């Protein structure tokens, strides 16, 4: 059974460019979460969806960040324009109801 799939695994871009991170949750899971991990702030939730509907986006840093979940099997996290302080590892996780969350391998983003 495939786990959570994220792409790309690594992304290097220049300041000001648009970045799109992608996630495919585990089939059958109805909740999807985007987390960001940095040395300074640790792991923090950016946004989560339940049945494709955004439930809590209070962790989204600012308007430069946006997330969509057009269907149950796909989600994107977009940063436009990107800044060096956005450099981090971005994780996508999925779960079924109130069960455990399973994480993807993460995308390491470097903004120069």
Partner 1 sequence: AQTVTQSQPEMSVQEAETVTLSCTYDTSENNYYLFWYKQPPSRQMILVIRQEAYKQQNATENRFSVNFQKAAKSFSLKISDSQLGDTAMYFCAFMTHRGSQGNLIFGKGTKLSVKP
Of 69 and 93, CB closest to partner 1: 93
- Binding to partner 1 (CB under 8 A): which residues in 32-61? 33, 35, 42-45, 48, 50, 55-56, 59
Q: Nearest Cα to 28, choosing from 57, 8, 56, 1?
A: 1
Query: Three-state SS for 84?
Result: helix
Q: Does 74 bind partner 1 (CB under 8 A)?
A: no
Of 33 and 65, CB closest to partner 1: 33
Q: Please provide residue 27's backbone torsions phi and psi, each rounded to the nearest 5 degrees.
A: -55, 130
Note the residue count of the chain. 112
In the complex, what is the shortest distance from the CB of residue 45 to partner 1, in angstroms, rounded to a whole number?
4
């Amino acid at each position: 059974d495939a786990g959570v799939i994220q792409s790309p695994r690594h992304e290097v871009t220049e300041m000001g460019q648009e970045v799109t991170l992608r996630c495919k949750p585990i089939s059958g899971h109805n909740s999807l979460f985007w987390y960001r991990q940095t040395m300074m702030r640790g792991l923090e939730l950016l946004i989560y969806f339940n049945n494709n509907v955004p439930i809590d986006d209070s962790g989204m840093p600012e308007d430069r960040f946006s997330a969509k979940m057009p269907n149950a099997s796909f989600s994107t996290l977009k940063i436009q324009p990107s800044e060096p302080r956005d450099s981090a590892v971005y994780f996508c996780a999925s779960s079924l109801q109130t069960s455990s969350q399973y994480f993807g391998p993460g995308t390491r983003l470097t903004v120069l």
